[in-house]
Structure 1
Amino acid sequence: LIVGVGQDGYYIASDIPAFLEHTRTVQYLDDGEMVETDGEQIIFRDIATGQERSKREIQITWTVEQAQKGDYAHFMLKEIMDQKESIARAANQDEEEIMTIAEAIKNAKGTFLVGCGTAHKACMAAEYFFSVVSGHHVNVCSAGEFKLYHHFLVAESLLIVVSQSGETADVLEAMNVAKSKGAKVLAIVNVEGSSVARAADYTLRINAGPERAVASTKAMTGQMSVMLLIAYALKDALHDGKTLLFETGALINDMLNPRYLERIATIAGKIKRHEHLYIIGKSWHYPMALESAIKIQEVSYMHAEGFAGSELKHGPIALIEQGTPCIALMGNDEVTSDMLNNATELKARGALLIGIAPKRHEIFDEWLKTPDAGAAQPIVTIIPIQILAYELAVQRGKDPDMPRNLAKSVTVK
């Protein structure tokens, strides 16, 4: 829980945006603590002993305006559009701090990368960043599964945890497992002063600003951006990584124009009555296919599944029939020809094939162009999917900001 300290009283919530319009001064409860207040003062105590505990106040840098919808119909759309600037903010990291972290990864006896849900898919993409950009191996798993890997941990291991809120229960548990072995922890978070940030040995903020919609958009691309930057630092090419991300931000700014949004809305209108949607990708677009399915399912309630393109013939292709909408996520790289073969197999079974790629291929029934962004390709590829998910939700009469049965900060196991 978080306590907001205002001039007119105190506010208690699990996420800062809930009271940001009233105060930007916060104090955090740690595990095993309680808070007493009569509206005039506030006292933190140890639950077991009743002993009073002192707390420092943290000033939140977000503004009220950043946490409001402005002229947008929904927070989700606003946060998608925020990515015109948020990628550059994620890239604006302290160079000495990034190089310190890169050195820690180089010296670690096993680096583990964990997150939950969308953050986990960002970690999966980062596994490719580390492999392709710097030739460095990392181990990726869902934070909720990490305790099963405890026997691989030693004091010289490094755990990298990724969380938008910094309050995710499974992530905190993973940190406790690592610390019980004496391992160091790097936290990549959006919320300063959060439980995850306070417990970590190193912390990098993605600087996305407040994210109000339950479905994560700009936080995910910020997480990928920071991890891509670390991959370049491991290659001793940090400046190249920063330049790439600043250029990617400019490409996204050009891509997110009214005509592009209208094009995606039109495609959403063509598939909104279908109940099944399948997405394929290869290399770093495989985790983007998985993330695409999450995003579409959680806000539109349309059943969606993501697959590695090479896995189609091992089962999923049996699901394809005449008119089934399928999305192929592609870049301009060494796996393009393989992906075209996979997409052709879908088309041969009657799929309505939507291509998201820098180049139009004749097998596409519909095409959404993405800029060619090199190693940052998955960052630009996921954005039209975010817009498509938003449009499907709106056109199917759902609230994209508050999907049923879901919470923004998952603070319970």
Structure 2
Amino acid sequence: MSKTLNEIMRIPLLLKKAESYGLSLNKEDRHLFVGCGSSYNIGYISSKVLKRYGIRAQVRTAGKLLVTQELPEINKAFLISRTGESTETIRTAELLKSKGIYTFGITCEPGTGLTEVCDESLVLDFSREESVVMTGSFLVILTVILNSVGSKDQHKAAKHLLDDSMEYFKNIPLEDFNHFVFLGYDENYGIAKEGALKLQEMALERVEYHEPLEFRHGPISTLTRQSFVTLISKSSNYEKTLVEDLKKLGATVSVIGEAGDFSIKNENGLESPLKIIPLLILGYLRAIKKGLNPDKPKNLSKSVII
């Protein structure tokens, strides 16, 4: 079994361990989540969900903060890096500290540049990964953050989703598609963005991500019978109509959410980690169909060090 697949299939065990972790967040603080790539997507999803629970939260890429030097009005920053060695994230931690902002690192590796710089750190070393592509650790970090506003026992549901995803995509002729689209609103938009990234990293695919109804306003012109669309749904009638329209135009559409192809109960955003699972399986199986090795994605390394 490849390293990547092994780290995907152990997700239920990781989520079980993650149940005992959380962050200390309060409604008085002004929080900022910072990351690059998948770590930024964790921050994006988290900020959308936390706001629903009265927690003030924003998100920025580390790169944008370094380039623009424009800092939002915050007093506490959470810097996310799976390896703890991403140069942009470490330099952003230094920048934030120099401005008197309390820095909290979240990583899966002990003794890293990020943990050395930050005022405080949480090291989730039980979820450290050997593979280049971030998979199970994404769900762990996201779960730990969301545990701060409402803990959910999700490891059993994760096991069922892994099995269902494998079965579902093995019955889809993934080799027939050359265009992958991901759609979602709010935290689901962040999940869509992460799904697109997994297809790029593992399978080197041409991908798009949009808000669902925005897809009609231009991007729909690129739709063909070789298009595979994934909707991370809020179960609205508008989205249901969109799915019908996309199918009429020849696209294959998969729906993640209540009453979808992957049925996941709406828990006011706390279910977000589970919605990632089908996207990981899609990325992995598409790579295998193309004869690619997901353990060795093109032009990528575990950390971006500059």
C-alpha distance in structure 2 between counterparts of 1:149 and 1:137, whole Å:
22
C-alpha distance in structure 1 between counterparts of 2:301 and 2:228, whole Å:
29
The equivalences for 1:168-317 within 5 A come to: 168-230=86-148, 232=149, 241-242=150-151, 244=152, 247-257=153-163, 260-267=165-172, 270-317=173-220
Larger Rg: 1
C-alpha RMSD over aligned residues: 2.0
Amino acid at match of 1:349: L
Q: CA deviation at 1:383?
A: 0.4
C-alpha distance in structure 2 between counterparts of 1:176 and 1:396, whole Å:
42
- Does 2:79 align with 1:161? yes
Q: 1:398 to 1:194 in 2, by over 3 A?
A: same
Q: CA deviation at 1:89?
A: 1.7
Match of 1:329? Answer: 232
> Contact 1:167/1:411 (CA < 8 Å) preserved in 2?
yes
Per chain length, whose mean CA-contact separation is higher, i.e. which structure has more relative contact order (CA < 8 Å, sep 6+)? 2
Q: 2:33 aligns with which of 113, 117, 132?
A: 113
How many residues matched? 305
- Does 2:8 align with 1:80? yes
**CA deviation string 1:84-116 (max 9, x = no partner):** 1111222212x7xx3xx324xx443x4221111
> Contact 2:83/2:109 (CA < 8 Å) preserved in 1?
yes
Identity of aligned residues (%): 23
C-alpha distance in structure 1 between counterparts of 2:114 and 2:187, whole Å:
27
SS of residue in 2 equivalent to 1:152: coil
Match of 2:51? Answer: 131
SS of residue in 2 equivalent to 1:409: coil
C-alpha distance in structure 1 between counterparts of 2:265 and 2:80, whole Å:
26
Amino acid at match of 2:289: Q
C-alpha distance in structure 2 between counterparts of 1:254 and 1:273, whole Å:
27
Amino acid at match of 1:169: T
Q: CA deviation at 1:404?
A: 1.1
Output the TM-score relative to the length of structure 2.
0.92
The structure with the greater share of residues assigned to strand is: 1
- Does 2:284 align with 1:393? no
**Structure 1 unmatched runs, 5+:** 1-72, 233-240, 361-366
Q: CA deviation at 1:165?
A: 0.3
Q: CA deviation at 1:317?
A: 1.4
C-alpha distance in structure 2 between counterparts of 1:135 and 1:107, whole Å:
10
> Contact 1:189/1:206 (CA < 8 Å) preserved in 2?
yes
Q: CA deviation at 1:151?
A: 4.2
- Does 2:20 align with 1:102? no
**Deviation beyond 4 Å, 4+ runs, structure 1:** none
SS of residue in 2 equivalent to 1:279: strand
Output the TM-score relative to the length of structure 1.
0.69
Q: 1:384 aligns with which of 266, 278, 294?
A: 278
Q: CA deviation at 1:337?
A: 2.6
Match of 1:92? Answer: 20
